[in-house]
Amino acid sequence: MENVAQPGQKSGSNHVTKLMQKSLQPLNLSQEQLRQVKGRMLEAMERGLSQREEGKATMSMLPTYVRATLDGTERGDFLVLELSQKQVRAVRVQLTGIEQQQVQVQDHAYDIQEKFLKEDGKQLFSFMAKCLAKFLDSHGKTQTDFSLGFSFPFHCHQTGLDHSELISWTKGFQCPGVEGEDVVQLLQQAIDQHCKRYHIRIIAVVNDTVGTMMSCSSGDEPCEIGLVVDAGTNSCYMEEARHVAVLGENEGRMCVNMEWGSFGDDGALDDLLTDYDRCLDQESHNPGKQRFEKLISSLYLGDVVHHILDRLVSQGGLSGGIITALPTRGKVKTCRVLEILHEQEGLAKAKSLLMELGLEGSDLDCFHVQQVCQAVCNRSANLCAAGLAAILTRIRIARELPQLKIAVGIDGEMFRKQAQYSHMLKQKLKFLAPECDITFVQSKDGGGRGVAMVTAAAARLFAQRQQLQSLLNQLHMSTENLCKVQALLRREMELGLAKETNVIASTRMLPSYVRSIPDGSERGDFLALDLGGTNFRVLLVQVHSQEQGGVHIFSEVYSIPPQVAQGTGTQLFDHIVTCIVDFQTKQGMMGQKLPLGFTFSFPCKQTSLDQGILVRWTKGFSASDCVGKDVVQLLREAVKRQQHFDLDVVAIVNDTVGTMMSCGYDDPNCEVGLIVGTGTNACYMEEMQNVGTVEGEEGRMCINMEWGAFGDNGCLEPFMTTFDQTVDKASINPGQQRFEKLISGMYLGEIVRHILLKLAGQGTLFRGQASPALQTKDLFPTKFLSVIESDGLAQRQVRAILEELGLRVSCEDGMMVREVCQVVSHRAAQLCGAAVAAVVEKIRENRALEQLEVTVGVDGTLYKLHPHFSQQVKETVKVLAPCCSVTFLQSEDGSGKGAALIAAVACRAAQQQNA
Ligand code: G6P
Ligand code: BGC
Ligand code: BGC
């Protein structure tokens, strides 16, 4: 609009040119002004989203309860009723839900008489219901049961997909008796009254922007913004749920209906308003309201043009000033404005408009009218672009993306009748949101199909959630069942402790020959080996007095390659000795023969401190020719095979025992050792009189429970799911370590993986497609659970993990996977807690105490790294062992330190015996 001169303009028309410039200049918004509008819109969005109560901010940013964009699997036959300013449209949509979603639409539009816009709301709703009945009578065929989605394009407070109270009418509607009411109820009542032959249930009510967004989505290209520029204007988009304060949710996304028409109602646009806008607002039925809408939407553009022409006429800018005022408002319809913009016929249309207004328009007049129309439409598009740029920027920042590629679903008269409109938007967005690559998708048949899709998506999500829940219910552990597990373990403990029944017990309750926890008097330098967890370590442990700094540890981590862990015993022990030699060389201690404590984290039957017969391998070890042999002897033989090298193995120690001793050094109350890592197990101080498998009645001995094998006799069968059976069968030790396979790090990822496979198989997850990686054993490690379950982890990161596995993941998929992880790890923590409860209760009863105070020394990657596991163990113990006050102390130095302390005690005892 910068230059209104045109060829052939008469020299005397300088006045007119100036007048045109003056009249249109305020509509011509500079780039800087548009940037400011974008900035203010962003602020208004933030204010609206952060309100804890709806309706407090100028722009409401209303949650719509539409959580999913579509994934192409929606199917079914749905009814839609769509109210717009001039019509009620009844639509029947059939979705086939196959890869290339086929949509069949039948519809009929019924004109709304002017009177319905002002009459009692009941009349309007009755009219809608009657239209629906008419439509069904002519199209319904035999079907009588329907789910219905209601497109209601007004400012509503929604509390669920099927509950929505009208806040305020806009766009000329003023029917009394509806504001503050639930429009779903009003329509349902009207339908029940007027559609008696049918059974119709409204299951979703949506804003027209939401219908537009959804109707423009396809499985491959989700559309995440909906924009309507019609009689009214508005936008919706997928916002991170955690940013919508009223929701109080952290997960996923939700579509937010911005109600941007009211942007500026607080004065934020005052500096941009022209006199025309002020007049128009004053004449409207809602002065001061919907200020942004009045600058943009088609209900008002004709009036703005009218006001400008009126001004031009009164100042002699048109038709040489023959008349001084135009007839009343409403004469210039927006559809006429849009016609005038037409390249070929525009000028003729301008002429006929001028004639209708009583003006004999000259060619120049027609040209000026066209320019007025252009300026008004340009401003509308520019402001719309500024608003859209704010949404795009907000989404891009929330998703932490340098570039955003996104589809925007568009609908409304302005797009349909003015092909240039979306082009103008695009041009402006190039500099208002340069980091965004936008595709505009024109909604095909109004929001109707989109509403049907919301209805279908709601039905699909509901069904998926039910499938997920019914599957996860199998893993639910009630307190009653946890008590049963606790009691079963208690029974197995008794069986394992008694000499006669030890062989039939699933928990072997192995004596450790450790009779007390450290008392602080231990001294000396020791070697320690630590084998059986994630890492194999060789350590030098120097035990000084507390004054001299207590315990110092120097250690090296070595790997045990799987082919060694699963090769021959000779290979394994030779490898261990090679590592020891390397360590001693590095530490400059070759030739020294220090006493050695050997943490060996597998079940060993001990007859003394320095002898341990391997009962079985666990946790992925299977080296041949070791089971049934004394592990210390195997180590000594390997040492012998190395020349010029000697070792003095004084103790073999289970990692639970090492951990208990290590923590006991700092806390004399520590009488239980617990490991929840690759495997799981516990040990505790038992009364000698209860240990039937060792001679002697006096004092206590630490018992390595080997609770990983609990249930190997089938006693846990009632609590196992098909997933547990599958994981067991696919393991290298089927039928063994059944309790361990429910709890420990080596297996939780596998359980989750099998559940995900099942859910994908039944179409609940990943659109029914599992990737090759998900089908591969151990490709979903337990550390994924720890990450996925971390508080505050963005859904994006959850999805990134799953996408790494080659999966196509929707927002809902991410949420459901997280739920699966939570349920699996929660069950593990509860079972672990039930077992700890059995142990501490036994100690309490042994000592005939009403209340026991005891510390559990803990180690293991799962316990330490998982964000909630430790807390859930503690909570379960509290419930199941209410008379025990249990402190959990995490071991910082691993169990090697404990093994060294045990070696120290053994050496002192040996010295005392020799003296
Ligand atoms: C401690 C011990 C290891 C033990 C491990 C369990 O650190 O030193 O001997 O096996 O905990 O943890 P992980 O998670 O490595 O299996
Ligand atoms: C209404 C919105 C609607 C928009 C476009 C506005 O007047 O308040 O809810 O989305 O018009 O139809
Ligand atoms: C072993 C135990 C060990 C536990 C934790 C189990 O597989 O049998 O001896 O304590 O893992 O590492």
Structure tokens at 607: 């007859």
Residue 681: C-alpha distances to residues 163, 401, 710, 748 (Å): 52, 45, 10, 16
Pairing of strands 87-95, 103-111: antiparallel
**Does the C-beta of 101 come closer than 6 Å to ligand 1?**
no
CB atoms within 10 A of CB 427: 14
Closest CA to 674 of 395, 409, 876: 876
Cα-Cα end-to-end distance for the chain: 109
Q: Is the CB of 507 under 6 A from ligand 3?
A: no
* SS3 assignment, position 530: strand
The torsion defined by the Cα of 431, 433, 434 and 440, in degrees rounded to 10, comes to: -100
Q: Taking the alpha carbons of 690, 695, 700, 702 in that order, is the dihedral positive or negative?
A: negative
Q: Is 618 in the pocket of ligand 1 (CB under 6 A)?
A: no
Q: Identify the H or E element spanning 440.
A: strand 436-442
Cβ contacts of 520 within 8 Å, gap of 6 or more:
546, 665
Ligand nearest to the CA of 706: 3
Task: Spell 129-153 as b/e; 16+ CB within 10 A means b.
Answer: bbbbbebbeeebeeeeebbbbbbbb
> Would you call 655 a catalytic residue per the annotation?
yes
Predicted confidence at residue 392, as pLDDT, reads 97
Ligand closest in space to the Cα of 535: 1
737, two tokens:
């370590």
| Residue 876 CB less than 6 A away from ligand 2 | no
Amino acid letter for position 342: H
- pLDDT at 626 > cutoff 50: yes
Residue 510 confidence (pLDDT) above 90:
yes
CA 607 → CA 101, 337, 898, distances in Å? 71, 100, 20
- Mean pLDDT computed over 166-193: 95
Q: What is the pLDDT, as a whole number, of residue 435?
A: 95
pLDDT at site 534? 83
Q: What is the pLDDT confidence band of residue 329, given thresholds at 50, 70 and 90?
A: low
What pLDDT score was predicted for residue 142?
A: 80
- Minimum CA distance residue for ligand 3 atom 3: 601
pLDDT per residue as tens digits for the range 213-268: 988 887 677 899 999 999 999 999 999 988 998 877 777 789 999 999 999 999 99
From the list 362, 708, 249, the residue with the least C-alpha distance to 509 is: 708
Does residue 606's CB lie within 6 angstroms of at least one atom of ligand 3?
no
Mean pLDDT score, 439-466:
82
Q: How many CB atoms lie within 10 A of CB 843?
A: 20
The number of the ligand 1 atom at minimal distance from the alpha carbon of 537 is 8
Tell me how long the chain is.
915
Distance (Å, rounded) from C-alpha 393 to C-alpha 47?
16
Q: What integer is the mean pLDDT of 385-408?
A: 95
pLDDT tens digits for 32-72? 999 999 999 999 999 999 987 766 789 999 999 887 666 66
Are the CB atoms for 284 and 271 separated by under 8 Å?
Answer: no
Averaged pLDDT, 418-424: 90
Over its C-alpha atoms, the chain yields an Rg (Å, rounded) of 38
Is the pLDDT at 836 greater than 90? The verdict is yes
In this prediction, residue 458 has a pLDDT band, given cuts at 50, 70 and 90, of: confident
Average pLDDT, the chain: 91
Q: Are the C-beta atoms of residues 21 and 15 closer than 8 Å to each other? A: no
Residue 446 confidence (pLDDT)? 67
Q: What integer pLDDT is reported at residue 325 of this predicted model?
A: 63
- Which residue in the list 242, 394, 537, 700 is annotated as catalytic? 537
Split at pLDDT 50, 70, 90, the class of 75 is: confident
Residues 706-720: what's their mean pLDDT?
97
Other CB atoms within a 10 A radius of the CB of residue 516 amount to: 14
Give 530 Cα–ligand 1 centroid separation in angstroms.
8
**How far, in Å, CA of 210 to CA of 454, rounded?**
8
pTM confidence score: 0.73
Q: CB–CB of 374/305 below 8 Å? A: no
* Residue minimizing CA distance to atom 6 of ligand 3: 679
Question: Which residue lies with its CA nearest to atom 1 of ligand 3?
Answer: 602
How far apart CA 528 and CA 866 sit, in angstroms, is 28
Q: How many CB atoms lie within 10 A of CB 99?
A: 11
With beta carbons less than 8 A apart as the criterion, state whether 541 and 900 touch: yes
Average pLDDT of 135-161?
A: 88
* Residue 413 CB–ligand 2 contact under 6 Å: no
Test site for ligand 1: of 529, 531, 534, 535, most ligand atoms within 8 A of the Cβ: 534
- CA 124 to CA 88: how far, in whole Å? 10
C-beta 859 within 6 A of ligand 1: yes
Query: Which of 619, 621, 859 best tests ligand 1's pocket when mutated (most atoms within 8 Å of CB)?
Result: 859
- Here the tokens at position 434 are 């340069």
Q: Which runs of consecutive H residues, i.e. helices, occur in 498-614?
A: 562-565, 569-587
User: Exposed (0-12), middle (13-18) or buried (19+): which is 77, by Cβ within 10 Å?
Assistant: middle
**What is the rounded CA–CA span in Å between residue 533 and residue 775?**
26
Q: How far is the CA of 171 from the centre of ligand 2 (A)?
A: 8
